[in-house]
Amino acid sequence: MSVDSTILNISQGDNIWDANKFRENLEINISKVGERETNLDLINVDTSIANALRRIMISEVPSVAAEYIYILNNTSVIQDEVIAQRIGLIPLKVDPDRLTWLNNDLPEDEKFTDENTIVLSLNVKCTRNLDAPKDCTDPSILYHNAHIYARDLKFEPQGKQEETFADSPVVSADPDILIAKLRPGQEISLRAHCILGIGADHAKFSPVCTASYRLMPKIIITEKIKGESAKRFQKCFPPGVIDINENDEAYVKDARKDTMTREVLRHEEFQDKVKLDRVRNHFIFNIETVGAMSAEEIFLKSVKILKNKAEYLKNSPISQ
């Protein structure tokens, strides 16, 4: 058989990827939705797709962060570049869809507009609290502005931004992030220009603390395990994985809770009575955000980006 005929047979066989079949078999089950964390199952997909979504969530979903810091005055003990880095890493509650991308080809005085840049200002000075008790040693009572937090960054709307962000003013996702400690006579005055970016350029633009997945554990009990042996078997797994029924037999209650410690394999009495495996097309995703946007939004944006990549590849000259 020639090479050409072999390729033809493969392309016409069952190995060809079918979008309709993929759509019918795909399952997405959301098991936990929180303010900062979401847990979901992606079932009947290839590892390449699951990993592509994970990588996109980490490095390609855009978010907003401070990129240009203009320090007007800094008499604190912290260097300018350290303050700038700290402010850049503060997650901001901003819908990235409300901004456009910065055009770095334009001159410095033209590239920043109300459509692509958010301006934050910080103007604080530490002074003594004359009403503080004489025996007090707490700096937060002895001084005004002894601690500078992310909440002290003030949003300065530019152009039409007052209308654009009327329903959601720009604030830090974590207002209690400490920026600096000041003492009487010290002050910080600066302006921060915040723009769109992606995690591939800098970690501060990544909208997730972590986005990870693991394969669904699979526990197969090949022989009945009863009585005291069943109780010992149960203790080999995390709580909730193994339970004991009315017949005093151990059974798998919830394999999802298993952490694949393989502790059970250390005990000779369970040799050849249990098999540990993973479901190769069942991925358990855990998405933890920095607070700039919800985990559901990040996941949906990653799907959209992956779709756009596929469309681009499909329409490129290489695929024609």
Quick: pLDDT tens for 239-296: 999 999 999 999 999 999 999 889 999 999 998 899 999 999 999 999 999 999 999 9
Quick: pLDDT tens for 206-250: 999 999 999 999 999 999 999 999 999 999 999 999 999 999 999
Helices 295-315 and 47-59 pack at an angle, to 10 degrees, of 110
pTM: 0.84
Q: Which residues contact 13 (CB under 8 A, 6 or more apart)?
A: none
How many whole angstroms separate alpha carbon 273 and alpha carbon 222? 5
319's tokens: 């695929």
Torsion sign, CA atoms 198, 203, 209, 213: positive
Quick: pLDDT tens for 59-112: 999 999 999 999 999 999 999 999 999 999 999 999 999 999 999 888 888 889
How many whole angstroms separate alpha carbon 17 and alpha carbon 285? 24
The neighbour count for residue 280, using CB atoms within 10 Å, is: 11
Contact between 251 and 225 (Cβ < 8 Å): no
Please give the domain boundaries of the chain with CATH numbers for all domains.
Answer: 11-60+209-319 (3.30.1360.10), 63-205 (2.170.120.12)
Q: 224 vs 50, 234, 235, 247, 249, CA distance in Å?
A: 36, 13, 16, 11, 7
